Amino acid sequence: MEQYVVKGGVPLRGEVSVGGAKNAALGILAAAIMTDETVTIENVPNVRDTRVLLQAIEGIGAKVKYVYNNSVQINGGSICDLNVEYEYIKKIRASYYLLGALLGKYKESNVALPGGCNIGSRPIDQHLKGFKALGAKVDIDKGVVCAKADKLVGSHIYFDVVTVGATINLMMASCMAEGDTILENAAKEPHIVDVANFLNAMGANIKGAGTDVIRIKGVSRLHGCTYSIIPDQIEAGTFMVAAAATHGDVVVKDVIPKHLESISAKLMEMGCEIVEGDDWVRVIADKELGSTNVKTLPYPGFPTDMQPQMAVALALAKGSSMVTESIFENRFKYVDEINRMGAKVKVEGNTAYIEGVQRISAAQLSAPDLRAGAALVIAALAADGISEIEDIEYIQRGYEDFEGKLSCLGAVIAKVDSDRELQKFKLKIG
């Protein structure tokens, strides 16, 4: 099984380019099937989650053509099956975006219910509530959501919780409904805006994305287009925090600095120097890190997907910090792992109480989920000694060539697939 091996203690220095946003790409790839014309999507991150979703899209009969590494063409004109198999949902929850896309286009869709995952139960009640409000009959039969409507009619939908997934699913399901739909208490993440902009490029009429009220005027059909996905806010933030935790000096390129404001603000509170350009952010962390407190919130608050990474940097900061996770109920599984490295973190309820330490030591680690896995890599980069990280397939879900990009910043890291490769690398780095 592949694993990372990391020799810590090297400050990250140099420039790194960020890829397309995974969480925008997953909504956009699903929405692309809503036209029978060809859609070209650029800046698609080549990660496990996008590859699996494209397999699911091919699985229902759409044509998918990989133009080159980060561009893909999709044509939904040949779709012949409205059933999305559990095997895809099991691999990535976001396959449930096909529910909203197929229902919006064909007024019918059957998609296996996503289970919970490593960070929480993650219900989809708001998605189903919205589909019903548009006039769909929604049943759950043997673990499959069966949604069907003679026609979909615009409605005024209020989300009981701010939910990225339901906001995206309902934008898709309502954009070809008859009449107007209003989504209240909508999520405002950059990837919501990106999906709305993509649907509008296909001929939809969506206004207000990025605010908590989104207005959608149904249109009769959507057409092909070419669209480029926004930079990944979380990949960018991960490199920013890695620079801080290793006392490095890194320019993170091809980003939208506005999307990174909450992360930059927290790093500045910790004593990092942040310099912003039009499409880059530089993190200079040559001084000792100071403590601060973090609470995850929907955008523009501090993103939950950056919580584990920030907690690792705070574990290495001088003083005590608190990290409160307000979005998911089980997103502290990395804490046991970093405590084995010498960190001093105690979790009570949805808050981690961190007592900063000067040094942590390498260890054999196991990634519990995608962002916790990235956080463990950051911990290993900052630790004394050589760490080994297993279960990196979680990390590969959301980071394209993570080890390659870190190596370009001076990190001593390799992906190895056997004990022989591991020993060879250890001998090489001494």
Q: Is 281 in the site for ligand EPZ (CB under 6 A)?
A: no
Contacting range for ligand EPZ; rule: CB under 6 A; set: 99-107, 156-164, 194-202, 381-389: 156-164
How far is residue 189 from each of residues 118, 269, 296, measured CA to CA in Å?
22, 23, 13
- Which listed residue (74, 124, 209, 270) binds ligand EPZ by CB under 6 A? 124
Q: Is 94 in the site for ligand EPZ (CB under 6 A)?
A: yes
Site map (CB under 6 A) of ligand EPZ, residues 9-48, x = contact = -------------xx--x----------------------
Contacting range for ligand EPZ; rule: CB under 6 A; set: 72-80, 118-126, 244-252, 384-392: 118-126
Residue 224 CA to residue 279 CA, distance in Å, equals 28
Number of residues that bind ligand EPZ (CB under 6 A): 24
Instruction: For the segment 327-386, give every residue that binds ligand EPZ (CB under 6 A).
Output: 327-328, 370-371
Contacting range for ligand EPZ; rule: CB under 6 A; set: 119-127, 197-205, 276-284, 311-319: 119-127
Query: Which of 280, 299 has the CB closer to ligand EPZ?
Result: 299
Nearest-approach distance from CB 173 to ligand EPZ, in angstroms: 13
Q: Is 184 in the site for ligand EPZ (CB under 6 A)?
A: no
Q: Is 123 in the site for ligand EPZ (CB under 6 A)?
A: yes
Residue 367 CA to residue 113 CA, distance in Å, equals 25
DSSP 31-89: HGGGSSSEEEEES---SHHHHHHHHHHHHTT-EEEEEETTEEEEEGGG----EE-HHHH
Q: Is residue 74 within 8 Å of 63, Cβ to Cβ?
A: yes
Query: Which of 45, 356 has the CB closer to ligand EPZ?
Result: 45
Task: Kindly report whether the peptide bond that precedes residue 300 is cis, defined as omega within 30 degrees of 0.
Answer: yes
Nearest-approach distance from CB 162 to ligand EPZ, in angstroms: 7
User: Using CB atoms within 10 A of its CB, is residue 86 exposed (0-12), middle (13-18) or buried (19+)?
Assistant: middle
Count the residues in the chain.
430
Nearest-approach distance from CB 185 to ligand EPZ, in angstroms: 11
Q: Is 305 in the site for ligand EPZ (CB under 6 A)?
A: yes
- Which listed residue (166, 311, 347, 360) binds ligand EPZ by CB under 6 A? 166
Query: Which of 124, 360 has the CB closer to ligand EPZ?
Result: 124
Nearest-approach distance from CB 94 to ligand EPZ, in angstroms: 4
Tally: H helices and E strands in the chain = 15, 24
| Enzyme catalytic residues | 117
Q: Is 165 in the site for ligand EPZ (CB under 6 A)?
A: yes
Nearest-approach distance from CB 109 to ligand EPZ, in angstroms: 16
User: Using CB atoms within 10 A of its CB, is residue 60 exposed (0-12), middle (13-18) or buried (19+)?
Assistant: buried
Nearest-approach distance from CB 93 to ligand EPZ, in angstroms: 6
User: Whose structure tokens read 């790839």?
Assistant: 29
Q: Is 304 in the site for ligand EPZ (CB under 6 A)?
A: yes
Contacting range for ligand EPZ; rule: CB under 6 A; set: 37-45, 117-125, 147-155, 193-201: 117-125
- Which listed residue (13, 51, 91, 122) binds ligand EPZ by CB under 6 A? 122
Q: Is residue 321 within 8 Å of 293, Cβ to Cβ?
A: yes
Q: Is residue 422 within 8 Å of 3, Cβ to Cβ?
A: yes
- Please state the separation of Cα 142 from the chain's center in Å: 29
Nearest-approach distance from CB 99 to ligand EPZ, in angstroms: 12
Q: Is 120 in the site for ligand EPZ (CB under 6 A)?
A: yes
Q: Which residue is nearest to ligand EPZ (CB)?
A: 165
Residue 244 CA to residue 233 CA, distance in Å, equals 17
DSSP 96-158: GHHHHHHHHHHSEEEEEPP--BTTB----HHHHHHHHHTT-EEEEETTEEEEE-S--B--EEE
Residue 57 CA to residue 98 CA, distance in Å, equals 8
Q: Is residue 365 within 8 Å of 337, Cβ to Cβ?
A: yes
Q: Which helix (H) or strand (E) holds 405?
A: helix 402-408
Nearest-approach distance from CB 395 to ligand EPZ, in angstroms: 11
Q: Is 194 in the site for ligand EPZ (CB under 6 A)?
A: no
Q: Is 259 in the site for ligand EPZ (CB under 6 A)?
A: no
Residues lying near ligand EPZ in the complex (CB under 6 A) are found at: 22-23, 26, 94, 120, 122-127, 161, 163-166, 187, 304-305, 327-328, 370-371, 398
